[in-house]
């Protein structure tokens, strides 16, 4: 019966999604594609939920891998998406799935903090800045129609990818066979729960660090205000003004 | 209590330095006068304490000669602390009182002197008082020192304040050059002094006066080996080297006359009354070292006598009042060293004491004249100031009489004692030098007085009328002239009886100092009285000659100058010492400097230039990769990170 | 492979992807976002190591990383806005002041 209730709730959510989607304004485009997408998403969600219910402990691992994949995929899109706004939104995805991973490994407080600080505060700042620094973009160019020239082009993709993935490979190669030894201190006691234990550790053993972090935030706030208030000349005197064609011209170091 | 004496003026200096320019300006003198007055009061208290303890039991006296440690300064070796320690004994008291009385009066005088005729403070007024306070601090430290290290610190500090004050009018190239000269010449002396102190430490393993003197009297070194007399002589001569620099004795005297470029109160205080006597004080302080080396004593006496005569002859031909007084100071310092050299240490300190009064008085009087003459100090340009400047004239005359050794004034007693001690010593021929110098002293002093104050009134261009200085300046003159008259009586005993026996040249002053120097063995009977008559006559004869030459027959000096042309020119150009030094030391050194400069410029710089070619060549090659794009650098960083990480992980 | 190991590899992968993005993208804002991705990787790593060690220190460090990330974002974005106002473009290539 309880199982049924869960599925009912899930179905209700899917219906709600459909309804809201149908109600959103759009200009003559048929709603079918959106409906299909929503239904597919609902189905995948239901499948996952079901798997979790059926497989138990193994289901946790399924969640874990799915969330890991989502994180990775989001990260790849952040890095590759030509338009900053979408990159920022994919980053939200990375943060959210990371937060879910944190919940899975028992770090609930950190998960909450991630969502609030990252997805809430920092990302909003990013979006603001993106809006603030918006440039008019060329209207032609297919998929990249809304992207600026310098967003459509990446510098040194070969070298960067090589280096980055050699780094990942090196670390992963070492880590897979590493034997961890446990340390007893700062252990969570099951009775307390993660948040209480973390708070206790933070405000006793790391109290000074917490104060320092607060101080650092204050300093950063003052610094950010000072930077933002500064009047900025359009071009500084020492620098030659670049011709429009010259801006964004790539210069290869290799 | 003793520690406060130097610290109060230092605090005054610091305060003036901190708030003088903005807050006080023309009132900054109070911040110096008050601490110095307080120090003077403390010094008087200290004197009474010491006076009481000298009369107390022998234990108290012994206690007094041990210096007391203010704090441990640094560890010089295993169990060998160098301390900041002070020592208060009769010699210290005498010096402290001399320094502080003269400083106090000179500071008061400066309040009037460092202003123009409208009473506006001169530029740098507060700086001047801050420097004066630093000087008082330094001199008190020097005098109170309980070991050679603190003595050396004080010694260098007074050198510094002297430099600062000579160069007070640093806008004038002559003043800046004079300050540099004083500092450099002193450096030569101080180098020897420093070596002497190092040798003392090397020999005795300690720098505390009491320990060093005890070991010298016992004749052993720190290892317990018998002390060689050559070693003592070396130490004494190296110390005397410092004294020659600071007290401007013969080969190193050249800085003192030039130091007159400083403001006149400075000349009075530092370059006549106090700092230049530091050498005398130091030799008197170390009299045990010097007494252990007859050869060093011989050198001290000879150089003293030579300087006395040498400087007096130069003073005959000079026209600049302050320079005449400067050479006179050299000459009187020579007397003091002569006294030290013939073991009459108390006489030397006595002369130092009286000299401080009358020479400070003369300088301040000259300053008063200079102030009235709008900075003119050449006695050929003015004259006959007797009427218009009565107080200055009267006090200057008293000072001049005291300097000339006129009977019953301060200089008479002390100088007489020195000449007597020289006759009694095994170098009586030095006494004859001193007698001749005494005559010359009387002559040049009154030559100056007659030229400046007597005759028809003449004023330099631009000065409408001479006027007497204000109360700030006159009061110290009057007080100092009382000292110039009376200070000598501290050193004589007045007997009732026949005329010849009234004055005994050994008084309270010597009794007080006898704790330091012991009772003198030379008797003051018989010969002393005869000498008194003789030296009175010599002084009078000198004064009379000056009167005859410069009042009665003003043509005579010119005639003499013409007849004795080469000699006159030799004296007028101060024996060409500066020129000789220029030829022998300065120019060759400058040549060496130029050669070194060229070497540096062409050889060393050339080699360095060749070396720089290597990184420059590398940089030229690498510049291609410096495109200025941040991401290029970031890529390099990550590549480096990967390489290092790879290497680290693969090697472990 | 334990959960901790997987998480660490995930963290390393995020870091690597962030590095790649930082090196290749020319939009200043996206470069910043890439650094945030790198931060995310580091954060996951801290948590995973805490998990492996069986204590809370990893999470404490992760929280401090969060603080640093916030500070960095605030200041960095202020600088980006400044640069944008000065040049009118977000192209990192337009800043060549570090040329040797």
Give pLDDT tens digits for A132-165: 876 655 555 454 455 667 777 777 788 888 888 8
CB of B635 within 8 Å of a chain C CB? The answer is: yes
Q: How confident is the model at residue A250, as a pLDDT?
A: 46
Neighbours of chain C (3+ CB pairs under 8 A): A, B
> Which of C5, C81, C93 lies nearest to residue A248, judging by beta carbons?
C93
* Dist CA B203 CA B235 (whole Å): 9
Q: Chain C neighbours among B 591-620 (CB < 8 Å)? A: 619
Residue carrying structure tokens 């990252």? A118
Q: Which two tokens stand for residue B561?
A: 């100058």
Can you tell me the distance from the alpha carbon of B217 to that of B223, in angstroms, rounded to the nearest whole number?
A: 15
* Terminal-residue alpha carbon distance, chain A: 66
Domains along chain C with CATH numbers: 3-89 (1.10.287.3510)
What tens digit of pLDDT does each residue of B371-419 get?
888 878 888 888 888 888 888 999 999 999 999 988 888 888 888 888 8
Two tokens, residue B319: 């026209």
The reply to whether residue A156 touches residue B635, judged by beta carbons under 8 angstroms, is yes
Dist CA A45 CA A40 (whole Å): 9
Q: Which residues of A touch B638 (CB under 8 A)?
A: 163-164, 167
Look at residues C78, C56, C77, C74 and name the one whose alpha carbon lies nearest to residue C66.
C74
Among the partner-chain residues C19, C24, C95, the one whose CB lies closest to the CB of B630 is C95
Which has the closest alpha carbon to A101: A93, A134, B57? Answer: A93
Condensed to tens digits (0 to 9), the pLDDT of residues B265-319 reads: 999 988 888 889 999 999 999 999 998 889 999 999 999 999 999 999 999 888 8
**Interchain CB distance below 8 Å, C7 and A105:** yes
Contact A91 C97 (CB under 8 A): no
Q: What's the pLDDT at A182?
A: 58
| Option in A109, A171, A230 nearest C82 (CB) | A230
Contact C21 A216 (CB under 8 A): no
Cβ contacts (< 8 Å) between C91 and chain A: which residues? 150, 247-248
**Contact across the interface for A72 and C16, Cβ inside 8 Å:** no
Does A227 contact C78 at a Cβ distance shorter than 8 Å? yes
Whole-number Å distance between alpha carbons of B587 and C58: 75
pLDDT score, position A152? 73
Structure tokens at B96: 């402290």
3-state secondary structure of B69: strand
Q: What are φ and ψ of residue B147, in 5° steps?
A: -150, 175
Residue A253 in 3-state DSSP?
Answer: coil
| Separation CA B131–CA B14 (nearest Å) | 10
CB contact under 8 A, C99 and B635: no
Q: Supply C95's token pair.
A: 């800043």
- Residue range A109-134, pLDDT digits in tens: 999 999 998 888 888 888 888 888 76
Residues of C in contact with A165 (CB under 8 A): 16, 20
| Residue A252 in this model has a pLDDT that exceeds 50 | no
What radius of gyration do chain B's Cα atoms show?
29
C19, C23, C99 member nearest B627 (Cβ):
C99
How confident is the model over C31-79, as pLDDT tens digits?
899 999 999 999 999 998 888 887 888 889 999 999 999 999 889 888 8
**Is residue A246 over pLDDT 60?**
no
- Measured between alpha carbons, how far is residue B461 from residues A173, B489, B649 in Å? 99, 43, 92
CB contact under 8 A, A251 and B627: yes
How many CB atoms lie under 10 A from the CB of residue B499?
7
Residue B191 has pLDDT above 90, yes or no: yes
> Residue B329: is its pLDDT beyond 90?
yes
Give the CA dihedral A202, A208, A210, A215, nearest 10 degrees.
170
Which residues from A are below 8 Å from B when comparing CB atoms? 155-156, 159-160, 163-164, 166-167, 170-171, 174, 251, 253
Least confident of B198-207, B222-231, B312-321, B388-397: B222-231
By Cβ distance, the residue of C37, C51, C85 closest to A94 is: C37
Q: Is B559 exposed, middle or buried (0-12, 13-18, 19+ CB in 10 A)?
A: exposed
pLDDT digits (tens, 9 = 90+) for A53-93: 777 777 778 888 888 999 999 999 898 888 888 888 899 99
The verdict on a CB contact (< 8 Å) between C56 and A71 is no
> Which chain A residue lies closest to B643 (C-alpha atoms)?
A167
Rounded CA-CA distance A19/A35 in Å is: 9
The residues pairing with B494 across neighbouring beta strands, listed in sequence order, are B503
Q: What number of other Cβ atoms are within 10 A of residue A139's Cβ?
A: 7
Confidence band (pLDDT; 50, 70, 90) for A232?
A: low
The label of the residue with tokens 């390393």 reads C12
Q: Who among B632, B641, B642 is closest to A253 (CB)?
A: B632
**Where are the alpha helices (H) located in B318-344, listed in sequence order?**
321-341
d(CA B49, CA B574): 47
| Residues of A whose CB is below 8 A from C84 | 132-133
CATH class of A2-179: mainly alpha
Q: Which residue of C has its CA nearest to B621?
A: C100
Which pLDDT does position C10 carry in this prediction? 92
For the ranges B117-121, B201-205, B586-590, C3-7, which has the lowest average pLDDT? B117-121
- The encoded tokens of residue A189 equal 């006691």
Q: Structure tokens of A142?
A: 């297919």
Distances (CA, A) of B426 to B85, B298, B341, B413, B523: 37, 10, 11, 22, 15
Q: Which of A163, A167, A171 sits opposite B635 (nearest CB)?
A: A163
Question: Contact C22/B633, CB-based, under 8 Å?
Answer: no
Is residue B644 within 8 angstroms of chain A, CB to CB? no
Pick the residue of B634, B636, B642, B645 with the most A CBs within 10 A to test the interface with A by mutation.
Answer: B642
User: Radius of gyration (Cα) for chain C, nearest Å?
Assistant: 16
State percent of chain B over pLDDT 90: 35
Six token digits for residue A182: 């446990």
Contact A167 B641 (CB under 8 A): yes
ipTM above 0.85, yes or no: yes
What pTM did the predictor assign? 0.65
Cα(first)–Cα(last) distance of chain C, in Å? 48
Angle at B88 between CA B82 and CA B89, to 5 degrees: 125
Sign of CA dihedral B337, B339, B341, B343: negative
Say how far apart CA B287 and CA B85 lie, in whole Å.
Answer: 20
Distance (Å, whole) CA A173 – CA A168 = 8
Partner-chain contact C62 A110, CB within 8 Å: yes
Q: What residues does B595 pair with on adjacent strands?
A: none
HEC per residue, B223-264: CCCECCHHHHHHHHHHHHHHHHHHCCCHHHCCHHHHHHHCCH
Subunits with 3+ Cβ pairs within 8 Å of A are B, C
Q: How far is B619 from chain A (nearest CA, A)?
A: 15
Residue of B nearest to C23 (CA): B631
Nearest Cα neighbor of A71 from B648, C10, B242, B560 is C10
Using CA atoms, how far apart are residues A9 and C100, in angstroms rounded to an integer?
Answer: 64
From first CA to last CA, the distance across chain B in angstroms is 69
CA distance B419 to B335: 9
Q: Distance between CA atoms of B155 and B136, rounded to whole angstroms?
A: 12
Interchain contact, B638 vs C93, CB within 8 Å: no
Listed in sequence order, the residues at least 6 apart from B515 whose beta carbon sits closer than 8 Å to its beta carbon are B54, B61, B64, B89, B90
Question: For A108, which residue in chain C has the nearest alpha carbon?
Answer: C59
DSSP string, B391-433: HHHHHHHHHHHHHHT-TTSHHHHHHHHHHHHHHHSS-HHHHHH
Rounded CA separation B448/B454 (Å) = 10
C61: β partners:
none
Q: Which residues of C touch B (CB under 8 A)?
A: 19, 22-24, 26, 31, 92-93, 95-100
Residue C15 Cα, gap to closest chain A Cα (Å): 8
- For B549, other C-beta atoms within 10 Å of its C-beta total 20
Q: What is the tens place of the pLDDT at every residue in B478-517?
A: 999 998 888 888 877 776 555 555 666 677 788 788 777 7
According to DSSP, the β-strands at B68-77 and B503-504 are: unpaired
Contact residues for B461 (Cβ-Cβ < 8 A; gap 6+): none
Mean pLDDT of B24-52: 87
Q: What is the pLDDT of residue B496?
A: 57
- What is the C-alpha separation between B364 and B102, in angstroms, rounded? 11
B648 touches chain A (CB under 8 A): no
- Give B313: exposed, middle or buried? Use CB within 10 Å, 0-12, 13-18, 19+: buried
CB contact under 8 A, B649 and A170: yes
Of A235-239, B18-22, B534-538, where does mean pLDDT reach its minimum?
A235-239
């Amino acid at each position: 019966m309880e199982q049924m209730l869960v599925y009912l709730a899930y179905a209700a959510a899917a219906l709600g999604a459909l309804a809201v989607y149908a109600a959103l304004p759009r200009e003559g485009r048929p709603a079918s594609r959106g409906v299909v997408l929503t239904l597919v998403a609902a189905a995948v969600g239901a499948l996952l939920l079901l798997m979790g219910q059926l497989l138990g402990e193994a289901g946790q691992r399924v969640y874990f891998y799915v969330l890991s994949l989502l994180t990775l995929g989001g990260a790849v899109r952040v890095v590759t998406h030509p338009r900053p706004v979408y990159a920022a939104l994919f980053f939200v995805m990375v943060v959210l799935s990371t937060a879910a991973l944190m919940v899975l490994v028992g770090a609930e407080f950190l998960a909450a903090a991630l969502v609030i600080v990252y997805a809430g505060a920092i990302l909003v700042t990013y979006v603001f800045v993106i809006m603030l620094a918006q440039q008019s973009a060329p209207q032609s160019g297919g998929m990249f129609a809304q992207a600026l020239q310098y967003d459509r082009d990446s510098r040194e993709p070969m070298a960067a990818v090589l280096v980055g993935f050699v780094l990942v490979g090196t670390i992963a190669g070492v880590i897979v066979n590493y034997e961890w030894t446990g340390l007893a201190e700062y252990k969570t006691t099951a009775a307390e729960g993660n948040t209480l234990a973390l708070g206790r550790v933070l405000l006793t053993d790391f109290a000074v660090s917490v104060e320092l972090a607060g101080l650092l935030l204050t300093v950063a706030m003052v610094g950010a205000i000072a930077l933002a208030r500064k009047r900025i000349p359009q071009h500084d005197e020492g620098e030659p003004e670049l011709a429009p064609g010259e801006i964004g011209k790539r210069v290869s170091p290799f | 209590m003793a520690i406060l004496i130097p610290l109060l003026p230092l605090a005054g200096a610091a305060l003036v330095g901190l708030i003088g320019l903005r807050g006080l300006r023309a009132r900054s003198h109070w911040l110096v006068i008050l601490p110095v007055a307080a120090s003077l009061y403390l010094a008087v208290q200290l004197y009474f304490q010491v006076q009481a303890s000298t009369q107390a039991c022998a234990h108290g006296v012994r206690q007094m000669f041990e210096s007391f440690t203010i704090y441990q300064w640094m560890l010089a070796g295993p169990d060998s602390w160098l301390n900041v320690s002070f020592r208060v004994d009769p010699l210290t008291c005498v010096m402290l009182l001399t320094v502080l009385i003269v400083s106090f009066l000179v500071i008061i005088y400066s309040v009037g002197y460092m202003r123009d005729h409208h009473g506006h403070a001169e530029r740098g007024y507060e700086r001047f008082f801050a420097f004066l306070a630093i000087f008082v601090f330094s001199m008190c430290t020097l005098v109170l020192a309980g070991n050679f290290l603190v003595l050396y610190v004080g010694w260098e500090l007074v050198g510094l304040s002297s430099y600062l004050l000579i160069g007070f009018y640093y806008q004038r190239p002559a003043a800046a050059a004079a300050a540099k000269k004083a500092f450099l010449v002193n450096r030569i002396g101080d180098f020897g002094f420093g070596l002497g102190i190092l040798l003392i430490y090397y020999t005795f393993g300690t720098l505390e006066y009491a320990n060093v003197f005890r070991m010298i009297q016992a004749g052993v070194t720190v290892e317990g080996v018998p002390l060689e007399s050559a070693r003592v002589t070396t130490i004494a001569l190296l110390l005397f080297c410092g004294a020659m620099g600071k007290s401007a004795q013969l080969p190193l005297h050249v800085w003192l006359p030039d130091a007159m470029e400083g403001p006149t109160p400075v000349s009075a205080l530092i370059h006549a009354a106090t700092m230049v006597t530091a050498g005398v004080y130091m030799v008197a302080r170390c009299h045990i070292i010097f007494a252990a080396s007859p050869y060093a004593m011989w050198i001290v006496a000879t150089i003293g006598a030579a300087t006395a005569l040498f400087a007096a002859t130069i003073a005959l031909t000079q026209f600049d009042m302050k320079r005449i007084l400067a050479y006179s100071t050299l000459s009187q310092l020579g007397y003091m060293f002569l006294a030290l050299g013939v073991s009459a240490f108390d006489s030397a300190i006595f002369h130092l004491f009286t000299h401080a009064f009358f020479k400070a008085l003369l300088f301040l009087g000259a300053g008063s004249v200079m102030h009235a003459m709008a900075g003119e100090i050449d006695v050929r340009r003015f004259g006959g100031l007797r009427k218009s400047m009565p107080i200055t004239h009267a006090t200057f005359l008293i000072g001049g009489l005291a300097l000339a050794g006129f009977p019953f004034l301060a200089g008479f007693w002390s100088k007489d004692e020195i000449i007597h001690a020289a006759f009694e010593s095994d170098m009586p021929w030095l006494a004859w030098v001193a007698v001749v110098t005494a005559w010359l002293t009387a002559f040049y002093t009154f030559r100056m007085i007659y030229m400046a104050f007597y005759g028809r009134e003449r004023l330099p261009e631009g000065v409408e009328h001479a006027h007497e200085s204000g109360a700030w300046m006159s009061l110290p003159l009057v007080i100092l002239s009382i000292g110039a008259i009376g200070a000598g009586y501290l050193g004589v005993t007045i007997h009732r009886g026949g005329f010849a026996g009234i004055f005994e040249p050994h008084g309270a002053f010597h009794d007080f100092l006898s704790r330091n120097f012991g009772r003198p063995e030379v008797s003051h009977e018989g010969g002393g009285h005869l000498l008194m008559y003789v030296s009175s006559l010599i002084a009078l004869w000198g004064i009379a000659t000056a009167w005859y030459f410069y009042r009665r027959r003003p043509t005579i000096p010119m005639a003499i100058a013409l007849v004795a042309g080469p000699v006159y020119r030799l004296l007028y150009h101060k024996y060409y010492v500066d020129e000789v030094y220029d030829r022998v030391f300065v120019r060759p050194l400058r040549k060496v400097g130029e050669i070194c400069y060229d070497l540096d410029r062409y050889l060393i710089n050339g080699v360095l230039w060749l070396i720089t070619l290597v990184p420059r060549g590398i940089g030229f090659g690498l510049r291609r990769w410096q495109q200025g794009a941040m991401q290029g650098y970031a890529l390099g960083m990550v590549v480096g990170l990967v390489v290092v990480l790879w290497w680290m992980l693969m090697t472990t | 492979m334990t959960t901790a190991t997987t998480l660490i590899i995930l963290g390393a992968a995020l870091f690597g992807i962030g590095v790649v993005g930082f090196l290749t993208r020319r939009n200043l804002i996206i470069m910043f976002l890439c650094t945030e991705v790198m931060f995310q990787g580091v954060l996951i790593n801290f948590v995973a190591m805490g998990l492996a060690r069986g204590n809370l220190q990893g999470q404490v460090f992760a929280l401090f990383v969060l603080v640093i990330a916030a500070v960095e974002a605030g200041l960095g974005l202020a600088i980006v806005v400044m640069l944008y106002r000065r040049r009118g473009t977000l192209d990192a290539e337009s800043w060549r002041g570090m040329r040797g």
